[in-house]
């Protein structure tokens, strides 16, 4: 079995990125939450101020998986970091080292950029992913709870006095 090929996504990959986002949402039972479209992806990943970057993983000519990530910052380390927003491998390609290859490339990018950490979140029910991450030596941060503001509560806060 050949090693998966990992490539930085380009603007011409927007349709593939959207396909991967939809496949991930279906896997996570969150298809109803996807409002992303090609225009938004083009603007936010490849526009004048990219908000994130994407990697695509190929098994032969087929796109088998992807990762979307962005820079963050650790005040305690006084170093940049990388936050992995999404990592997904299509079901038919799992068990071939594609998820490992994507995370390995992200670790390389983190080291190249002088980052102090690479972090991400995983759904509590996704035991296969949890097992995979722990096998790599990743540590769950049980003492932290993630909070999120979206939609109307975010708007309301922005207008608060």
3-state secondary structure of 72: strand
The tokens for 60 are: 């032969």
The answer to whether residue 133 is catalytic is yes
73, 83, 133, 147: which one is catalytic? 133
The side-by-side arrangement of strands in the sheet containing 79-89 is: 5-8, 53-59, 62-74, 79-89, 118-120
Contact status, residue 112 vs residue 80, Cβ threshold 8 Å: no
Count of CB atoms situated within 10 Å of the CB of 30? 11
| Inter-axis angle of helices 38-46 and 14-27, nearest 10 | 110
What are the respective helix, strand and coil percentages of the chain, to the nearest 5? Answer: 40, 25, 35
Distance CA 134, CA 74 (A): 22
Give catalytic residue positions.
133
């Amino acid at each position: 079995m050949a090693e998966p090929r990992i490539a930085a996504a380009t603007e011409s990959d927007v349709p593939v990125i959207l396909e991967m986002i939809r496949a991930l949402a279906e896997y996570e039972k969150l298809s109803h939450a996807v409002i992303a479209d090609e225009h938004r992806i083009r603007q936010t990943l490849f526009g004048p101020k990219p908000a994130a970057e994407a990697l695509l993983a190929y098994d032969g000519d087929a796109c088998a998986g992807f990762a979307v990530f962005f820079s963050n910052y650790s005040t305690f380390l006084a170093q940049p970091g990388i936050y992995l927003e999404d990592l997904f491998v299509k079901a038919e390609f799992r068990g071939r080292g594609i998820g490992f290859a994507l995370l390995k490339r992200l670790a390389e990018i983190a080291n190249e950029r002088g980052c102090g950490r690479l972090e991400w979140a995983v759904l509590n029910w996704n035991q296969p992913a949890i097992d995979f991450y722990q096998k790599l030596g990743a540590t769950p941060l049980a003492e932290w709870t993630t909070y999120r503001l979206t939609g109307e509560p975010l708007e309301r806060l922005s207008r608060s006095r």
